[in-house]
A and B are shown apart, each in its own frame.
Chain A
């Protein structure tokens, strides 16, 4: 479609073009689409170009100790990831499953010996830059981009100390991170030798298109377990209720025979057309579920815990409505509740009333 880059022409053009650095209407360097786009200022590039590559290009200067990292971790991270990065409550565990021997070989043995029940981040990650980049750009979960480079060095140092990649008194910095890379437990555990990195790659399985008498014996190796029949909700309500293929009523055992004229087991359209509204739907649509669950602690307290704490207290409604509007912290731990100024007065009242009732 587009012949790529005849650069000679545009280079000449660029050389003769005057740039007004910092101006929003800097000259266009292009010959093809004049007037489209502008040159980015150095400050703009610095603000956005935050990625850190495996060769550490892009890594800012800075440092942080394991000790500093531990303090940050306990106030900002442990609520989701556990004190030792071991929690499996919200996200998969970060730490666990690696050994001193892995640090020597650069291959995590538990990835092949299957002794570890779950694959942790530290078992899988091959490059320390990946940890640094992600924590800096996207953590903490409810306040991404709030960490400084020094915070990030400290948090990475703390994680690596828990995995025993660095000692407890270690200070990680931009000058020694390349040395740390040489101790990453799974640094030799990744390969690019496969056929799925580009569209012309060679596939690893080679099936044949047999047409007749292809298998001597058809054997079912796995079926849906009984407990999973209704685990995704009633399948009857997840299908069109007219036409040739209805959903089976998964709240009930399978039919004994074909539904036929009796229609037994087929759901009625009128039963499933109500669209859920009310406080529970609002709680979900306003994204409260990102931090609060009904009965278990996530980033914030559960609905049940809030209801029980404020049960019978006068003024709880007004107090919590103000808190939802303006945000707050300190009652349930160090993670602050961000302000929810987008909610109407009415929606806030509905939500808080519902939460105080324990979600009833």
Chain B
């Protein structure tokens, strides 16, 4: 009779389910098992009618209360599992739906594909390591850290080699930064293409990275930073991933990192060593980092000559577009989700900027006509995700939810129309437009573009 998925709610009993005689009897003689039985029967009879009247009517699960409270549960009455039953731990089995997912049809081969972070279910700003998005170019390996080497060459006093043992002896820093693939939200340049925030924005993660500052390592090698304005970072995978780093810009912030959220990097995120380049698109955070070459010109490697550049309407491509501009997205509620009922909701999302700190996030519930400023949760860190929250009472009428972030340079996140007016519709990368989610009268949230 009662809906198991609504059990947690204390719901109002239907009116007049007790007869006047029973009320009088109860007042006079108090409660006993017989009278309790009468009450339950009366309640059930009334409930049958109430459900028929309307789904939104609040009804008590039983006359006495919620079975989740009244009945003893197995976890209260039996012995639980031993410590270290799961020595490295794992999420609850009830969290099995929140996993990284590939988007079917995006690529033909999984060794050169993407698995997206389930932003729709995450809290705060830190991405759990098991859910950090993956982008592989030629498959990943578990690289033996004893066999991993980092070479520094090019415009340096002496070409040098470091082992992991060497690197992990060095003075380290730990900093929280977001990483976003330059192609994140790229599927949506032309039109709405995918249903949920996992696929629209899930090439996005944020972790505390630990490692040696790049500047310290280059100084140690005697790098010539007057001539050497560029750095070639090279990975140890089959693709030998190479990217030019604009050294003059990121030298004071980049990290040669081995740690991620307190543990070593996960293999699919570059174990045992990756470059961390705050504010810059993910492809430059070269995984399985094995070589750094200091040079005096950009390298035009495949991924910066053929991919990761922005095609403008006149056919000219902007090369070495790297900075991830200010962006935000509402994660709950978001596309593909279902609101249960009218009433109060905490609307929550993420904002970030590759140029610094998020200064403000505004939220609109009417498709961008009127905006309210959301609460920013601490910490608000430079080049890191910032969590925002705002109260919302949904009255059941259609709504379009949007968020708009502003960073401390004063840059305001643009609408998709404004972005297309400048860059056209044929780009793939660096789509930082305002995201719109439509809430229908049935409570279903869907992905739409406004304008």
Residues of A within 8 A of B (CB): 1-2, 4-5, 7, 10-11, 14, 19, 29-30, 32-33, 36-40, 44-45, 48-51, 53-55, 89-91, 107-109, 111-114, 119, 121, 124-127, 129-131, 133-134, 137-138, 141, 144-145, 189-201, 203-215, 218-225, 228-229, 231-233, 235, 237-242, 244-248, 250, 254-263, 265-266, 268-269, 272-273, 275, 284, 287, 289-291, 293, 298
The 10 lowest CB-CB distance pairs between A and B, nearest first, are: A260-B55, A112-B315, A218-B367, A235-B336, A111-B315, A134-B302, A198-B249, A130-B305, A290-B111, A40-B159
| Cβ proximity bits B83-98 to A, threshold 8 Å, 1 near / 0 not | 0000000000111111
Can you list 20 A-B contacts (CB < 8 A)? A10-B157, A112-B315, A127-B300, A129-B300, A130-B300, A130-B301, A137-B240, A191-B317, A199-B356, A209-B371, A214-B368, A215-B367, A219-B451, A221-B450, A222-B449, A231-B194, A240-B97, A241-B94, A257-B441, A290-B109
Do residues B341 and A260 form an inter-chain contact, with CB atoms below 8 A? yes
Task: Indicate if the CB atoms of A245 and B219 lie closer than 8 Å.
Answer: no
A239 to B279, CA, bound (A): 29
The answer to whether B194 and A228 touch across the interface, beta carbons within 8 angstroms, is: yes
Q: Among the listed B51, B93, B159, B447, which residue makes an inter-chain contact with A39, where contact means beta carbons less than 8 Å apart?
A: B159
Task: Encode B420-451 as 1/0 by CB contact (under 8 A) with A.
Answer: 01110010001000001010111111111111
**Most chain B beta-carbon contacts within 10 A, residue among A11, A111, A196, A203:** A196
B225 touching A246 by the CB < 8 A rule? no
- Confirm or deny: B65 has a beta carbon within 8 angstroms of a beta carbon on chain A: no
Q: Judging by beta carbons under 8 Å apart, are B370 and A213 in contact?
A: yes
Q: A48-B234, A49-B293, A137-B242 are in contact. List 18 more A-B contacts (CB 8 A).
A: A40-B161, A48-B153, A51-B242, A53-B295, A54-B297, A111-B311, A141-B138, A144-B239, A199-B250, A204-B423, A205-B418, A220-B400, A224-B192, A237-B97, A238-B118, A257-B55, A259-B55, A268-B5
Contact, CB under 8 Å: A203 / B411: yes
Name the residue on B nearest A229 (C-beta): B195
Neighbouring A residues of B17 by C-beta, 8 Å: none
Q: Which residues of A contact B299 (CB under 8 A)?
A: 51, 53-54, 133
B53-97 contacts to A (CB < 8 Å): 54-59, 93-97
- Asked if B18 is an interface residue, CB under 8 A from chain A, the answer is no
Known: A48-B151, A221-B451. A11 touches B336 (CB 8 A): no
B30 within 8 A of A: no
**Complex CA distance for A133 and B322, rounded to whole angstroms:** 21
Contacts of B406 in A (CB 8 A): 209
Which A residues touch B310, using CB under 8 A? 194, 196
Inter-subunit contact A261/B56 (CB<8 Å): yes
Residues of B within 8 A of A291 (CB): 109
Chain A's closest residue to B223 (CB) is A5
The tally of residues in B whose CB lies under 8 Å from a CB in A reads 157
Q: Which residues of B contact A265 (CB under 8 A)?
A: 338
Within 8 Å CB of A261, what residues of B?
3, 6, 51, 55-59
Judge whether A290 and B291 touch: CB under 8 Å: no
Q: Are B322 and A197 in contact (CB under 8 A)?
A: yes
Tell me if B104 counts as interface (CB < 8 A to partner A).
yes
Residues of B within 8 Å of A119, CB to CB, are 311
Are B446 and A30 closer than 8 Å at their CB atoms? no
Interface check B357, CB cutoff 8 A? no
A197–B160 CB distance below 8 A: no
What residue of chain A has the Cβ atom nearest to residue B415's Cβ? A207
In contact, B193 and A220 (Cβ under 8 angstroms): no
In the complex the two chains form, is A90's CB within 8 Å of B109's CB? Answer: yes
**Residues on the B chain within 8 Å of A272, using CB:** 96-97
A266 vs B412: C-alpha distance in the bound complex, in angstroms?
37
Q: Is the CB of A4 within 8 A of B191?
A: no
Is B393 part of the binding interface, using a Cβ–Cβ cutoff of 8 Å? no
Stretch from B127-135, B162-170, B257-265, B267-275 contacting the other chain: B162-170
Q: What's the Cα separation between A4 and B198 when bound, in Å?
A: 41
Residue of B nearest to A55 (CB): B297
A144 & B220 in contact (Cβ 8 Å cutoff): no
Structural contact, B157 and A14, CB atoms closer than 8 A: yes
**Which listed residue (A5, A232, A287) contacts B194, Cβ 8 A?**
A232
Q: Are B338 and A39 in contact (CB under 8 A)?
A: no
A15 CB to nearest chain B CB (Å): 10
Q: Which residue of A lies closest to B423 (CB)?
A: A204
Q: Which of A48, A213, A231, A239 is within 8 Å of B121, CB to CB?
A: A239
- B128 → chain A closest CB, angstroms: 14
B24 at the interface (CB under 8 A from A): no
CB-based nearest A residue for B291: A48
Q: Given A204-B423, A266-B5, does the pair A223, B448 have CB atoms closer than 8 Å? A: yes
Task: Please name the residue on chain B nearest to A144 by beta carbon.
Answer: B238
Q: Which residues from A are CB-within-8-Å of B309?
A: 124, 190
A10 to chain B minimum Cβ distance, whole angstroms, is 5
Q: Which residues of A contact B400 (CB under 8 A)?
A: 218, 220
* Chain A residues whose C-beta falls within 8 Å of the C-beta of B334 in the assembled complex: 245
Contacts of B325 in A (CB 8 A): 196, 203
Chain A residues positioned under 8 Å from B379 (CB to CB): none
In the complex, per-residue mask of B346-372: 1 if CB is within 8 Å of any chain A CB, else 0: 100000001110001010001111110
CB distance from B183 to the nearest CB of A (A): 13
How far is A225 from B447 in the complex, measured between Cα atoms in Å?
Answer: 10
CA distance A185 to B222 in the complex (A): 40
Q: Which residues of chain B in 190-243 are interfacial with respect to chain A, using CB atoms and an 8 Å cutoff?
A: 191-196, 198-199, 213, 215-216, 218-220, 222-225, 232, 234, 238-240, 242
Chain B residues in 8 Å Cβ range of A275: 96
Is A89 a contact partner of B442 (Cβ separation < 8 A)? Answer: no
